[in-house]
Amino acid sequence: MKRAEIEITGIVQGIGFRPFIYNLAKTHSIRGWVLNNERGVFIDAESEDGNLKKFIRGIPALAPPLARIESFEVTHLEPIGYTTFEIRRSEEAQEKFVLISPDVATCDQCLSELCSSQDFRYRYPFINCTLCGPRFTIIKDIPYDRHKTTMASFTMCPVCQKEYEDPTDRRFHAQPNACPACGPSLRLEDRNGKEVPGDPIEMTLDLLAKGFIFALKGLGGFHLACDAKHQGAVSTLRSRKFREDKPFAVMCRDMEEVREHCEVGREEERLLSSVERPIVILSRKEDSAIAHAVAPYQNTLGVMLPYTPLHHLLLNGPLKALVMTSGNASDEPIAYKNEEAKSRLHNIADYFLVHNRDIHMRCDDSVTRVFEGRPYILRRSRGYVPFPIKLPFPVEMILACGGELKNSFCLTRGRYAFMSHHIGDLENLETLTSFEEGIEHFKKLFYIRPKAVSYDLHPDYLSTQHALSIEDIPKVGVQHHHAHIVSAMAENGIEGDVIGVALDGTGFGLDGTIWGGEFIKANLRNFDRLAHLKKVPMPGGSMAIKGPWRMAMVYLWEAFGDGTDALRIDLMRRVDLQKRNILKRMIEKEINTPWTSSMGRLFDAVSSLLSVRDEVHYEGQGAIELEMIADHALTEEYPFIIRKDGRPMVIDTTGIIRGVVGDLKQGISSSKISGKFHRTIAHLIIETCKAIRSEEELNRVVLSGGVFQNIFLLSLVRKSLEASGFEIYTHHLVPTNDGGISLGQAVIGHMRLFEGSD
């Protein structure tokens, strides 16, 4: 006879772990007990040696899909002669810190019940169990118990209650457990709030097929939905949403339908059908029947599979693909409360399919793509949050406020970095409120009382202003690009000095100019700026970001001076002499004209030179469309110069602009010029890294910043760096765009305040 105590930590509560242990114990004739304590799950098990070994091996091997085992400790003890196996009452602790599961896609068992006419939950849109369903979005407070979720207002019927109390049942302690008799229900309304009679699902399917636009209440907020193959409906949605060219996501019935429209690799398939169910950006087939207006000017499509029972019901009928875009008008946060949605979306949606299970935390869909066979997360939100990023070492409790665009914040505790869901662009009161409420919620959920706050150096960011308004707490300002690089270092678990290549649109520099084409020597505490793109004026500030033609003119003047007006290229016809002169005067008189070394602005300039985009409707549009048209087969490049005489080194791109203009004059296609331009930028990155390596003896290169959302560029850079013997680190878990910088801010804040100097 043998006996062992087993302590398991990680995500092991509220996900069916105890019934799993109970059943596994029965299988192997184990006696003893299991309970949840403040650290995780604790088991006392006794049996013959062979059975006990099988039981212990079976726990990590067969654990429920949502479990994330962080530690697994076994201690052998003297047997004491247990006779049964039981689930004991949880130990109540003062401060019960446990990890909380993200919201999870409907599991296979619930799905088969949903589709079985014999089951009493047949076609019930809120079916769930301990293996699936809402979590993060319905939790109001901890511990995670039904009365502290938005399910509190529903009293379980005797059948549901029995499942909930039965340790052998899949719904044992499934907090959102419900059925048609006792749980939430759907309601279909027209835009005036009048209930539409009939079965809400049947009516919705009927109206969607006729081309109407719906606001659908989902897991983390409202979606705006319509038939993805109905040209008229999609165009109407686009015009009502004022979302000029920004691509919509599409939800497809199943993998077969996804393959109708897109190329799907093995890792993409895995990601699409994972429990996280993110949007995956796929390359689109030319003969796809998805309406053109879903993603104009794109050769990709953002696709996801159904992740709630309601989605399955809507896609099991005649419609195989629905547009599912976030329920907001262009720049606002996604709507998540019924009344709020009705008032904000009634000019966009014809009908509202709502329900009475409240969403406590809004949470947008996550967005990913696959890079070299691994997920590359561009927006980390539903399905991933609030699961923490594991840090290589423990840190103090820190609040990091993130950036301005695509904001996320981060709170740390020990080795856990809790990155928030996608908050959005912190440019209006509504988003700011969502940011502030989110921080308070995370502090409460994970018992975090920050000992310091870190923030971006940009004085105008609302996240910075929020950080500075917190009283009686040490504060650390972190340079934007340093935060990018340390964020990538932290998720890769590396320390020490590295070459950081941080390329993006905008980040406040130490000298008060706008940085964005930066090569830094960085560690987790400090950085040195070693090289950057040559600075150019940005006439009009943010106007120059919205209008890439301005940057094109600036770069032309840099390259051709007074000869610019005589250039016979199309841009000179689109920008008349008067416009040019106004711009020139702004630069000369330094009116609203900051200086920038941004790589994003160089991409903008080239996209305008190639007549791809003179004005953008969303961040990075010029660069994205430039990537779309790039010919990947070219080997030619444009010339550039790395000026090594001063420090930092300066990368002069005048030769690139001269080369692009030369090709334009010869009638070379935009696609070829874009391909050549991408190769040139990759080469420029490698040559700069080599120049740094020869002086600093650093061989590790960390790539971060929004520019690396460009997968064509990223793969060119990666291949050439590798061929030159560098060790390369990129993002995978955390976005390379500004959605990832809060992680770097938190780690730097900890190092500066709480670790001895290096």
Q: Applying CB under 5 A, which residues contact Zn ion?
A: 107, 110, 129, 131-132, 157, 160, 179, 181-182
Q: In the bound complex, what is the minimum distance in angstroms from residue 309's beta carbon to Zn ion? A: 9
Q: In the bound complex, what is the minimum distance in angstroms from residue 129's beta carbon to Zn ion? A: 3
Alpha-carbon distance 66 to 25, whole Å?
20
Q: In the bound complex, what is the minimum distance in angstroms from residue 169's beta carbon to Zn ion? A: 12
Specify the residue, 132 or 401, whose C-beta has the smaller distance to Zn ion.
132
Alpha-carbon distance 709 to 599, whole Å?
13
The burial of 578, by beta-carbon neighbours within 10 Å (0-12 exposed, 13-18 middle, 19 or more buried), is given as: exposed
Q: Find, among 467, 456, 387, 459, the residue nearest to 432 by Cα.
A: 467
Alpha-carbon distance 155 to 158, whole Å?
9
Q: In the bound complex, what is the minimum distance in angstroms from residue 232's beta carbon to Zn ion? A: 37
Q: Are 598 and 504 in contact, with CB atoms under 8 Å apart? A: yes
Specify the residue, 309 or 509, whose C-beta has the smaller distance to Zn ion.
309
Q: In the bound complex, what is the minimum distance in angstroms from residue 127's beta carbon to Zn ion? A: 7
Q: Are 264 and 301 in contact, with CB atoms under 8 Å apart? A: no
Specify the residue, 71 or 112, whose C-beta has the smaller distance to Zn ion.
112
Q: In the bound complex, what is the minimum distance in angstroms from residue 247's beta carbon to Zn ion? A: 31
Alpha-carbon distance 377 to 732, whole Å?
6
Alpha-carbon distance 14 to 16, whole Å?
6
Q: Are 447 and 95 in contact, with CB atoms under 8 Å apart? A: yes
Specify the residue, 312 or 601, whose C-beta has the smaller distance to Zn ion.
312
Specify the residue, 137 or 463, whose C-beta has the smaller distance to Zn ion.
137
Specify the residue, 131 or 682, whose C-beta has the smaller distance to Zn ion.
131
What's the Cα-to-Cα distance from 511 to each of 233, 484, 558, 642, rounded to whole Å? 50, 18, 22, 21
Q: To 10 degrees, the CA torsion angle through 700, 705, 711, 712?
A: -80
Specify the residue, 179 or 224, whose C-beta has the smaller distance to Zn ion.
179
Q: In the bound complex, what is the minimum distance in angstroms from residue 150's beta carbon to Zn ion? A: 17
Specify the residue, 159 or 494, whose C-beta has the smaller distance to Zn ion.
159
Q: In the bound complex, what is the minimum distance in angstroms from residue 151's beta carbon to Zn ion? A: 11
State the CB neighbour count (10 A cutoff) for residue 166. 14
Specify the residue, 130 or 596, whose C-beta has the smaller distance to Zn ion.
130
Three-state DSSP at 99 gives: coil
Alpha-carbon distance 253 to 269, whole Å?
14
Q: In the bound complex, what is the minimum distance in angstroms from residue 16's beta carbon to Zn ion? A: 9
Specify the residue, 124 or 384, whose C-beta has the smaller distance to Zn ion.
124
Q: How many helices (H) and strands (E) does the chain have?
A: 23, 30
Q: Are 249 and 306 in contact, with CB atoms under 8 Å apart? A: no
Q: In the bound complex, what is the minimum distance in angstroms from residue 134's beta carbon to Zn ion? A: 11
Q: Are strands 475-478 and 527-533 parallel, antiparallel or unpaired?
A: unpaired
Q: Are 334 and 327 in contact, with CB atoms under 8 Å apart? A: yes
